[in-house]
Chain A
Amino acid sequence: MATGHAAATTGPFGAVGHHARLVGLVVMSLALAAAVLRTLDTVPSWLRGEPRGLRRYDRLEDLERAVHTRLLLPAYFPERLEYPPVRILLAPGGAQPSAVAFRDRMRGTERLVVCQNARGDAPLPDRLLPPGLVLQRVATDVNGAQAVLTRMRAPDTREWTDLVWVQQGRRVALRLHGDDAELMRFARSLTRVRP
């Protein structure tokens, strides 16, 4: 009975053939395992309703600890904005872009989104600030820095305004569902001090 087995495993190419077959099988099974693991890894994000790759934090302090810097937040913080933020997201990438969203206390909808790179002026990812239909784009300035103010409309006809500029070496964008004067007030008050 042992002889049959020896003949079956030796084959025409001997040990080399066996090892080649083994390598092939190992690569195949590892690739399959990697695919399964990758799929399983997307489940928590999917269950939490987050786009893949974005990491959600419960507290601003946790995000700041992750990016090793304090975030720029508006010192002007009217009563109608709810604190703490409803959404704190970090996208992958060397610039460590993040988005912090505040809700309107009365309407219960998102009113202000502060999006910024932890370092560098690389463009902010669309995943953090989904684009809409551009209605108007004008150049302006924030505390002496050049800025672009863009009015946009979503497919559901909701309108908002984005203001993008570079402050302290970081690209910053504010998105407000409100008027331009208030947006500029938020922008000019942006600081590392907590509201």
Chain B
Amino acid sequence: MASATELAAQAVLYGIVSAVVVETLIRRLPVPAPGDRFRYRLCTLILPLALPPLFAALAPMRATEAFADLALFSTSRWQRLAVAGVGVRDLGLATLGVLGAALVLRDLWRDALHWWRDRRALGPRGAHRGAADPGPVLQSEVEGLARRMGVVTPRVLLLDTEAAILHCRGVRRPTVMVARGVAERLAPDQLRGALAHELAHVAHHDVLRGWLLALLRAVQWFNPVAQVVARRAALEVEWRADAEAAAVTAQPLALARALLTCIRGRDTEFLGLLGRGRVAALEQRCRRLLDGVPARQGRADAWSLAIVGAGLSVLLFFVV
């Protein structure tokens, strides 16, 4: 029976191999639609978690030394190679574990800072209790957009704060939270674009996807490749929402302006270095909006995912 260290080493290795293969496919096919790329990347995140225990349960002979001779790659061979009395496999796993944990903590810290700033901006009563009716103009804007996008109109809450807060939350009952500061600061076309972006998140259940990504990241905290892939997948979700909002409103420039206004109002100075990554990601989103990247789903259907998943499973079966 494989030990926990062996399973962890396999999970990291599977993550690296899956990521390399999937990234090659994304670039070579190519896969321009962010929604498709998200699905492929989700494969990269799920396979390293699912396959090691599945293989261990279904094919226990993989743990034997005879199988290691058949295998394409055996982590135990690297473990027998020692540096200062420690096996190279364990050494590599520890190094990658520290790196993975650092990436998790970095994002956790950044999100905690944001949460704390929003909390302070909303006052001691918190977001939901400080929320008010959005008013007829905002409500009708959301309803109009929802009709055009084929989405059930979500609940809209207006937060009484100057902070630039605009996001959707809630898995079972999606809610679009709009801060008064945002509603006043954005021009009507910009606000329309920003609301369409949030409605695109509602349409694709992106809050649930966000939690799923967070869960996959937390479980694979020791795997830096999974952290990078998950962040990239989260970005794809945003890109898709941007592209769909731009397609619905036909005003990508207005949405780009809205994004810039929001990030300025967001005050990322307090994040220091952590904020730079967010600003860079925003810049990338604006560029994509102006370049006109497609929103619609391409061909990452169940068959495509099954082909990639089956191929990777066969390869990884021979990696122990």
Contact = CB atoms under 8 A, between A and B. Distances in A.
A105 interface: no
Interface string B201-237: 0000000000000000000000000000000000000
B81 A30 contact: no
Contact of A55 (B65, B71, B298, B311): B65
Given A19-B303, A23-B307, A33-B315, A44 B72 contact: no
A1 B32 contact: no
A1 B294 contact: yes
Contact of B81 (A21, A22, A27, A48): A48
A19 B311 contact: no
A181 interface: no
Nearest to A55: B65
B311 A15 contact: no
Contacts of B319: 37
A107 interface: no
B123 interface: no
A53 interface: yes
B84 to A, nearest CB: 15
B81 A5 contact: no
A25 interface: yes
Interface residues of A, number: 35
Contacts of A48: 80-81
A191 interface: no
B92 to A, nearest CB: 12
A29 interface: yes
Contact of A26 (B25, B33, B81, B299): B25
B311 A9 contact: no
A1 B299 CA distance: 17
Interface of A: 1-2, 4-6, 8-9, 15, 18-19, 21-23, 25-27, 29-30, 32-34, 37-38, 40-41, 43-45, 47-48, 53, 55-56, 66, 92
Interface of B: 17, 20-21, 24-25, 28-29, 32-33, 65-66, 68-69, 71-74, 77-78, 80-81, 88, 243, 247, 292-296, 298-299, 301, 303-304, 307-308, 311-312, 314-315, 318-319
